[in-house]
Amino acid sequence: MINRQSEYTIRQALLQVPAVVLLGPRQVGKTTLARTLAKDWPGGSVYLDLERPAARRKW
């Protein structure tokens, strides 16, 4: 994965708020970024793909 400024920005945002939404065009690395952030986030994380009906029903 290419290191991006957005990773730092999102990490800082998550220290202030409980959730963030990653929006953007297909194939730009949103899922990769989300999984990278989630794998070592203190206290765990929940990954939801809102294109999947089952994920939308969870919350």
Confidence of residue 12 (pLDDT cuts 50, 70, 90): very high
Confidence of residue 9 (pLDDT cuts 50, 70, 90): very high
More confident call, 48 vs 41? 41
More confident call, 51 vs 4? 51
Pair of tokens at residue 30: 């949103």
Over its C-alpha atoms, the chain yields an Rg (Å, rounded) of 12
pTM, two decimal places: 0.71
Confidence of residue 16 (pLDDT cuts 50, 70, 90): very high
Supply the DSSP symbol for 50: T
Pair of tokens at residue 44: 């765990």
The mean per-residue pLDDT over the stretch 18-29 comes to: 89
Dihedral (CA of 2, 38, 7, 49) sign: positive
